[in-house]
Structure 1
Amino acid sequence: MNFSNHNMTIAQAKTLDLINYLAVLGFKPSKIKGSDFWFLSPLRVEKTPSFKVNQKLNCWYDHGIGKGGNLIAFGLLYYNCSISELLQNLSHTFSLQKPITQHANEDPKRTYKIQILKEEPLASPSLLRYLEQRRIPIKIAQQFCVEIRYALNKNTYYGIGFKNDLGGFEIRNPYFKTSSSPKGITSFDNCSNEVVVFEGFIDFLSFKATTKNLPENSQDFVVLNSVSFFERARPFMENHQSIRLFLDRDETGQNYTSRALSLSTKYTDESKLYEHYKDLNDWSMNCGKSAKRHLGRKL
């Protein structure tokens, strides 16, 4: 199925195999029982698989959050995007990547594992254009990211790689996002009394772009790489006098922000700066040059 010339419709998206789509994103089933494929949830961090996909119904249900639905419902939660953005994403993903098929009698542990093949400087034109579209200067991205070549089910792909403290990568390209194991936070310790916290590395790069005139080592940083790693990041964060939170403006991000504020007066909520946008990068993209002035005044 090829949708390279136009965005697919909602009806077309619903026909896509959800298990194949999860495989493209790098998620493998932990166990298969009849028509039920059980995964560690792609929407949060857990140790016991509670995310079920029924192959016959082509629907999912996450027992940990009590939500489920079709592929569209999953994509909207996974990417935190609009339906039009998701359809565009799906169109490009399935025009560039072949769906991966798994049969019920196959060993789930033998497939879907991402293998990092090569790390090199960011250079691919499509990745550089993607960064420019996100209003992130190439030099800043090259300072903190690399270009990753990786294998998934005998196919080779590439993307922007952002390494975490455990050696795994968050991986992005213009059409989808995934990650390699092990997953964890990314911290930058510059011996500062202040730490600035982000959910994802795109927001971190946006912050660096809009504050590039600040001294390079004036702050410490934490990129959670998943808001569910908040608890894991607390020891590092709370070793600082000031903890500035730039979490997303969605329900999950705001819930974690509220919890942090209840834990200690060290935490401050900086997301009010972009209260009418999804996150810091969304605000930066839409506000343009005015974003730099506003963020500069906040500092």
Structure 2
Amino acid sequence: MDFRKQKLSIAEAKEMDMVQYLSSLGHEPSKIRNNDYWYHSPLREENTASFKVNRKLNRWYDHGLGEGGNIIDFGIAYFGCSVGEFLKKLDSGISFQKPFKNRSKTENQPEHPLKIVKDDELNSYALIHYLEQRKIPVEIATQYCREVYYELNAKNYYGIGFKNDSGGFEIRNPYFKASSSPKDITKVKNASDEVTVFEGFMDFLSFKCISRNELNKTPDFVILNSLSLFEKARPFLESHKSINLYLDNDAAGKKVAREALSNSKRYNDYSKLYQNHKDLNDWLVHIGKQQKKKKKKKKRLGNKL
């Protein structure tokens, strides 16, 4: 039972030992010199450890970024969240999962399955901010996604959850991509003779964003959640007159699209729309950045007039 009556304060958070906190996130020092603990930066990829924590001062400095501060400054940079959001996570013991670095799995080490603890309405500031970065409007995401809390390796985390037809979740946050069992496809039925297919739910949400002002009849949708489930989806897909493919622009996605087109004339490949990008969401993010640049340029020109 938790007898605490007050939320964690900023002053209390600053007293937390940064070395212990980094360890709880899966980051261990590569060398220790007196009070200085050196790490491969948790904030970026690097080959030489240049992230230092002075344990006596309980402050950090990233020599590669030229930035540093206390544990709150670190949490804001690490999770991309607000002060309040970070304090809430510290208080609850729940965090985003970051990939563990410098920790190789030994042979015969037991796997700890991901366990869903609960799912709730999507309202986390950090998750909504992540969706905004991916150019997904929150009003679209909340129709199809949940805020999922899960346990992995005896630690608690949370992320954006997208449910499949068997009750499992695809889970995303800024640093982690995973699935809970059972793995399956997701069908969104609209009583249509046309079906549109995506590999992942971010592409599906991107399509809903792009097409939200169209007045045409809404098709059925299939989100594969894994390209390996394409064969499983085929009976449902091929019960439609027209099948529109929005698969990833990689070797695997192109191979499946080629095979599908050779099997039936009902298949249509729409990947040319985003031919210079990894997938539909990558294209949407790129277009969003271009529009933002144009607005800034227009504003600058307006100020000069």
TM-score by length of 1: 0.64
Q: Partners of 2:48 and 2:229 in 1: how far apart?
A: 35
Q: Partners of 2:219 and 2:289 in 1: how far apart?
A: 23
AA partner of residue 164 (structure 1): N
- Verify: 1:134 aligned to 2:134, yes or no: yes
Match of 2:162 in 1: 162
Match of 1:272 in 2: 272
- Verify: 1:188 aligned to 2:226, yes or no: no
Query: Using a 3 Å threshold, how does the CA distance of structure 1 residues 186 and 10 change in structure 2: closer, same or farther?
Result: farther
Over alpha carbons, which structure has the higher Rg? 2
Aligned residue-pair number: 210
Query: Using a 3 Å threshold, how does the CA distance of structure 1 residues 281 and 265 change in structure 2: closer, same or farther?
Result: same
Q: Partners of 1:172 and 1:257 in 2: how far apart?
A: 25
Q: Partners of 2:172 and 2:214 in 1: how far apart?
A: 27
Match of 2:44 in 1: 7
Q: Partners of 2:287 and 2:112 in 1: how far apart?
A: 39
Q: Partners of 2:107 and 2:137 in 1: how far apart?
A: 46
Q: The residue matched to 2:239 in structure 1 has which SS?
A: coil
CA positional deviation for 1:123: 1.0
**Structure 1 runs of 4+ with >4 Å offset:** 2-5, 91-106
**Larger RCO (CA within 8 A; separation ≥ 6):** 1
Q: Partners of 1:128 and 1:94 in 2: how far apart?
A: 13
Aligned pairs (5 A) from 1:97-108: 108=110
Q: Partners of 1:208 and 1:279 in 2: how far apart?
A: 15
Q: The residue matched to 2:182 in structure 1 has which SS?
A: coil
2:96, 2:157 within 8 Å by CA — same for their partners in 1?
A: no
Q: The residue matched to 1:288 in structure 2 has which SS?
A: helix
- Alpha-carbon RMSD across the aligned residues, in angstroms, is 2.7
AA partner of residue 279 (structure 1): D
2:206, 2:284 within 8 Å by CA — same for their partners in 1?
A: yes
Q: Partners of 2:282 and 2:267 in 1: how far apart?
A: 23
Match of 2:52 in 1: none
CA positional deviation for 1:124: 1.0
Q: Partners of 2:278 and 2:141 in 1: how far apart?
A: 21
Query: Using a 3 Å threshold, how does the CA distance of structure 1 residues 289 and 176 change in structure 2: closer, same or farther?
Result: closer
Residue deviations 1:173-217 (CA, integer Å, cap 9, x gap) = 011101101101001111101000000000000000111123596
Q: The residue matched to 1:209 in structure 2 has which SS?
A: helix
Q: Partners of 2:290 and 2:123 in 1: how far apart?
A: 29
Unaligned runs of at least 5 residues, structure 2: 1-27, 29-38, 50-77, 80-94, 292-305
1:3, 1:94 within 8 Å by CA — same for their partners in 2?
A: no
Q: The residue matched to 2:116 in structure 1 has which SS?
A: strand
Q: Partners of 1:95 and 1:154 in 2: how far apart?
A: 12
Q: Partners of 2:257 and 2:143 in 1: how far apart?
A: 28
Match of 2:252 in 1: 252
Match of 2:54 in 1: none
Match of 1:19 in 2: none
Q: Partners of 1:242 and 1:122 in 2: how far apart?
A: 33
Match of 1:242 in 2: 242
TM-score by length of 2: 0.63
Query: Using a 3 Å threshold, how does the CA distance of structure 1 residues 228 and 5 change in structure 2: closer, same or farther?
Result: closer
Residue deviations 1:200-250 (CA, integer Å, cap 9, x gap) = 000000000111123596210000001111100000100000000000111
AA partner of residue 8 (structure 1): E
2:196, 2:243 within 8 Å by CA — same for their partners in 1?
A: yes
Match of 1:175 in 2: 175
CA positional deviation for 1:95: 8.5
Q: Partners of 2:253 and 2:228 in 1: how far apart?
A: 10
1:4, 1:95 within 8 Å by CA — same for their partners in 2?
A: no
Q: The residue matched to 2:187 in structure 1 has which SS?
A: strand
Q: Partners of 2:198 and 2:191 in 1: how far apart?
A: 18
Q: Partners of 2:144 and 2:130 in 1: how far apart?
A: 16
Query: Using a 3 Å threshold, how does the CA distance of structure 1 residues 96 and 189 change in structure 2: closer, same or farther?
Result: closer
Q: The residue matched to 1:236 in structure 2 has which SS?
A: helix
Unaligned runs of at least 5 residues, structure 1: 13-90, 292-299
User: Equivalent pairs: percent with the same residue?
Assistant: 51
1:245, 1:268 within 8 Å by CA — same for their partners in 2?
A: yes
